[in-house]
Amino acid sequence: MQKKTVGKSKVSSKQGNKLLHQMMLIRRFEEKSAEAYTETKIRGFLHLYSGEEAVAVGVTQALGENDNVLSTYREHGHAIAKGLDPKTIMAEMYGKQEGCSKGRGGSMHLFDASKKFFGGSAIVGGHLPLAVGMALASKKQNLDNITCCFFGEGAGAEGEFHESMNLASLWKVPVLFVCENNLYAMGTAIRFTHSIQELEKRGDSYGIPSASVDGMDLLAVMDAVKKAVSTIKKTGGPYFLVCNTYRFRAHSMFDAELYREKSEVEEWKKKDPIPKFRDYLLNANLLSEKEVDAIEKSVEKEVDEAIDFAENGTWEDIRDLTKFVYSEKEAE
């Protein structure tokens, strides 16, 4: 039976500092990415995560180093929260060979096996079956880890979603399905695409424990994920968590954003998870204004260093164009 969770978690000063730093880092990273894109330093598609930081940070803080993460093309936040170096992420988006995917993947295909971050997927819903497969492999190898799969509500209308939920339940594999419901998929309101808008109810039809949570509330997300991970560890089976959130920017940098009113966006910005959590820490005397200022300065420095790293990165030699196309010894 699905239910909605409410945040009750308490954090220490040290943990609060870390969590606020991560959310601020993601936000500033995205802002700088947008600037670099308008300067044509980043090309191709670019999907920004601004507004959804509480989901990435809240979910990954409950995961272990050996837990796998698969993501969508809106993945920068997930990658940063999982521990990827912002420098290599930015270099990747610049197309430089110092990038985490050697400049070959770009914004939508970040990858770092050492961090158990197995890439973003440009195919809507295409990574859900992969997540089930990875969880099945872990089960067969008796590994004590789970696979976390982020996806948007738009993927919930794809056949892969239903197939993956069904197989995960049948095979009872340790996979955490995290749906980031930002209401508009690519540009169509959820009321026009889903007959049942309480997406967590779908878990019941597959016998999967499910819950929904306010994705704009970091503490609520933390509570929900702790319970989800505990359930997976206890049962060995899947869990479905719906994080109701909102992206402050358009679907992508190409999006004219004609499908929603600016006034709606402004209303949602009043629920911004970053100032909400910052104020919580200040009011609880877990952080001081001085410490918050220090975090902001640290974040600014980190992002500037990431930009510098990408700017000074190197282009791959055109003679290596066919390298890594096929599995060869030199590609190891």
Q: Does the pLDDT at position 327 exceed 80?
A: no
What is the secondary structure of 27-89 as a DSSP string? HHHHHHHHHHHHTTSS-S-----TT-HHHHHHHHTTS-TT-EEEE-SS-HHHHHHTT--HHHH
On whether residue 194 sits in a domain, the answer given is yes
Mean pLDDT of 29-41: 97
Q: How confident is the model at residue 2 (pLDDT cuts 50, 70, 90)?
A: very low
Q: Does the pLDDT at position 56 exceed 80?
A: yes
On whether residue 318 sits in a domain, the answer given is no
On whether residue 323 sits in a domain, the answer given is no
On whether residue 11 sits in a domain, the answer given is yes
Mean pLDDT of 169-191: 96
> Picking from 23-32, 88-97, 144-153, 312-321, which range would have the lowest pLDDT averaged per residue?
312-321
CB atoms under 10 Å from CB of 229, counted, come to 21
What is the secondary structure of 10-28 as a DSSP string? ---HHHHHHHHHHHHHHHH
Using CA atoms, how far apart are residues 60 and 11, in angstroms rounded to an integer?
15
Distances (CA, A) of 18 to 24, 52, 275, 291, 302: 10, 17, 15, 11, 14
Which class for 267: exposed (0-12), middle (13-18), buried (19 or more C-beta within 10 A)?
exposed
CA neighbor of 48 nearest in space, from 107, 6, 103, 99: 107
Q: Does the pLDDT at position 331 exceed 80?
A: no
Distances (CA, A) of 265 to 73, 97, 249, 270: 22, 37, 8, 9
pLDDT of residue 216: 98
Collapsed DSSP state (helix, strand, coil) of residue 248: coil
Is 253 within 8 Å of 308 (Cβ atoms)? no
Is 47 within 8 Å of 107 (Cβ atoms)? yes
On whether residue 175 sits in a domain, the answer given is yes
Is 53 within 8 Å of 274 (Cβ atoms)? yes
DSSP 212: E
Contacts of 208 (CB under 8 A, 6+ apart): 165, 168, 169, 177, 237, 238, 239, 240
> What average pLDDT is seen over the chain?
94
Q: What single-letter amino acid sits at 9?
A: S
Q: Does the pLDDT at position 8 exceed 90?
A: no
- Residues of the domain holding 224: 3-280+294-312
pLDDT of residue 328: 65
Q: Does the pLDDT at position 270 exceed 60?
A: yes
The beta strands (E) that lie in 86-174 are given as 117-120, 147-152
Residue found by looking up tokens 């308490």 in the block? 10
Tokens of 138: 């872990």
Per-residue pLDDT reduced to its tens digit, 114-126 = 999 998 999 999 9
Count of structural domains within the chain? 1
What kind and span of H or E run contains 303? helix 289-311
pLDDT of residue 7: 54
Q: How confident is the model at residue 276 (pLDDT cuts 50, 70, 90)?
A: very high
pLDDT of residue 304: 98
Using CA atoms, how far apart are residues 66 and 116, in angstroms rounded to an integer?
6
> Picking from 6-10, 50-54, 78-82, 128-132, which range would have the lowest pLDDT averaged per residue?
6-10
On whether residue 22 sits in a domain, the answer given is yes
On whether residue 285 sits in a domain, the answer given is no
Report the first-to-last Cα separation within the chain, whole angstroms.
46
Q: Does the pLDDT at position 135 exceed 70?
A: yes
pLDDT of residue 223: 97
Q: What is the CATH number of the domain that holds 213?
A: 3.40.50.970
On whether residue 56 sits in a domain, the answer given is yes
Of all residues in the chain, the percent with pLDDT exceeding 70 is: 96
Q: How confident is the model at residue 324 (pLDDT cuts 50, 70, 90)?
A: confident
Using CA atoms, how far apart are residues 61 and 58, in angstroms rounded to an integer?
6
Q: How confident is the model at residue 5 (pLDDT cuts 50, 70, 90)?
A: very low
